[in-house]
Amino acid sequence: MNIFQFDTEDAWVEGVVSLWRDRLHSNPRLRMCLPSGHTPNKIFAAIGRAVKAKQASFRDAEIFCLDEFGGLALDDRGRCANMLRHYLLQHIDLPEKNFHRIDIDAPDLQKTCQDYERSIEPGFDLTLLGLGLNGHLGMNEPGTSADSPTRRVQLASSTVASSAKYLAHGNLPTWGVAVGLKRLLGSKEVWLLVNGPAKTDIVKRTVHGPIGEDVPATLLRRHPNSFLMSDADAGKLL
C-alpha cells in the first residue's frame, strides 16, 4: 500500500482531485466505483468545479455505485445513489446512461445482484473508498470473504448508527447491497480516502495491524496499486 499524507484537509482535497483529473485525462473511458457518505463530498465538489472549468470531463466515463441501503424510500436523501447524484453527478458531465446504480427495490434482489456483478465486467479501472471505523470497505463488514461478490448484506451495529447522519428520520437501515471485496480488490487501482481525527486509530490498524478479513481494509495492503490518501489528522499515528 502506498501512503500519501497531506498536511491539511484542503491539501488532501486538492491532491486527490489532481490525481483524479490525471486519470481522466489518461483514460477518458475510465470505469469507476465510487462511494457516498461524508468523506468524499469535498472531493466531489472540487472535481465538479474542475469539470465546470473544463479541466476534466466524465463524458466518456462510467460510474458504478459502491453500495446501497435497503429499506429506504426511493427519494430518501440517504440513499447512496441519491447522495452521489446530489454531491457529484449533478455537477459533472457524465451521461445518465453511464451511471450504474443498484436497484434495491427489484422484486428479485438476488437477480439484481447477479446482474450488477455482470455489469461490472471487465472490472473497475479506479475505485474510491472510505474507511469505516471498524475497518469496513463500503458495506463489506468485518468477516467478509476476500472473494465475496455483489450481494445482500447485514450491516454492523456501528454502520447502522453511522447511517443516521445521512437521514432526516430515525428509520435506520439494517441491511443493504454491496459490491463485494472480489471486485474492489480486483480494481486496477484503489484509493482509500481518510480524513479527520475520528479515523486515526483505524488508519493505524489498517496500515500496521495484521492483514485479515476481520479488518477488510487491511486486505488492500496486498493490492499492488492501492493508495491510502489521508490528511494529517487521520494519519498522525502512522
Q: Catalytic residue numbers?
A: 67, 134, 136, 141
111-137 in b/e form (b: 16+ CB < 10 A) is: ebbeebbeebeeebbbbbbbbbebbbb
3-class DSSP assignment, residue 212:
strand
State how far the Cα of 70 lies from the Cα of 172, in Å rounded to an integer. 9
Q: What is the bridge-based pairing of β-strands 126-129 and 190-194?
A: parallel
Residues whose CB is less than 8 angstroms from the CB of residue 82 and which lie 6 or more positions away in sequence, other chains included: 75, 76
Output the nine-digit C-alpha cell for 167. 437521514
Q: In this structure, are residues 64 and 98 in contact, taking their beta carbons and an 8 Å threshold?
A: no
Residue for grid cell 494529517: 232
7, with CB counted inside 10 A (0-12, 13-18, 19+), is: exposed
CA dist list (Å): 114 to 102, 110, 178: 11, 6, 12
